[in-house]
């Protein structure tokens, strides 16, 4: 007998188990995973926006501080220059003062008296501008002129009103003189009259129908 064949050692395969719940979650979780990705992207974008705003605020603060420093330096230079000028003026001309010309007041403006005409198609207007007298007599005179103008306007308006009233009265009289239309009196029909009218209507309809048939 020949030698026995050596048997190869075969390692046992571990048991493979299938998780049905995980499979179900994978198959039904596409929308959920998509929403998670969108939310994650939004969070990253918000974080970047916050960082950009922070950098912008820092840059603005630095620019403002630099501008403030420049303004302070310029202000100090101006103060120093003014102090130097004041000291020079006090030392050089402390006792000499210039005498100015005597002020004689404001010059009187020229008189404002003129007339202007404005023509626009059918309208014609004349505007008169006169100088006003500031004294008491001048004010009283202007007030009297205004009162007279108001009286003229009121008299014109009263005359117009009277003419309108007269025209309305004449119109009313003319309407009253027109002959009035006579109203037709309503008369109730008796039963016999109604029967006679119905019979006439039936006869006329019958004649018309017969004429149509003969055609």
- Output the tens digit of pLDDT for each of the chain's 215 residues: 556 666 667 677 677 787 888 888 888 889 999 999 999 999 999 999 999 999 999 999 999 999 999 999 999 888 888 888 888 777 765 555 454 556 666 666 665 555 666 666 566 666 666 666 656 666 666 666 777 667 767 777 777 787 788 788 777 766 666 666 666 666 667 788 888 888 999 999 999 998 888 87
pTM for this predicted structure: 0.29
Phi, psi of 109 (to 5 degrees): -70, 160
Return the half-sphere exposure (C-beta side, CA atoms, 13 A cut-off) of residue 26.
Answer: 5
What is the model's pLDDT at position 57? Answer: 93
Residue ranges covered by each domain of the chain: 21-85
Question: In whole angstroms, how far apart are CA 38 and each of 52, 138, 144, 192?
Answer: 21, 88, 88, 98
At residue 181, the 3 state secondary structure works out as coil
């Amino acid at each position: 007998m020949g030698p026995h064949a050596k048997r190869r050692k075969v390692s046992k395969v571990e048991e493979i188990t299938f998780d049905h719940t995980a499979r179900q979650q994978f198959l039904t979780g596409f929308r959920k995973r998509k929403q998670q990705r969108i939310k994650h992207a939004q969070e990253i974008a918000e974080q970047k926006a916050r960082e950009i705003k922070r950098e912008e605020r820092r840059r603005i603060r630095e620019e403002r501080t630099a501008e403030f420093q420049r303004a302070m330096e310029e202000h100090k230079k101006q103060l120093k220059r003014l102090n130097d000028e004041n000291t020079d003026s006090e030392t050089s001309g402390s006792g000499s003062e210039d005498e100015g010309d005597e002020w004689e007041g404001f010059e009187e403006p020229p008189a404002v008296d003129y007339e202007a005409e404005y023509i626009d198609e059918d309208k014609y207007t004349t505007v008169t501008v006169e100088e006003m007298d500031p004294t008491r007599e001048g004010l009283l005179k202007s007030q009297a002129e205004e009162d007279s103008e108001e009286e003229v306007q009121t008299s014109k308006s009263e005359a117009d009103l009277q003419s309108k009233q007269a025209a309305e009265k004449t119109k009313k009289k003319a309407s009253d003189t027109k002959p009035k239309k006579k109203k037709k009196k309503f008369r109730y029909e008796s039963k016999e009259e109604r029967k006679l009218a119905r019979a006439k209507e039936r006869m006329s309809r019958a004649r018309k129908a017969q004429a149509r048939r003969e055609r």
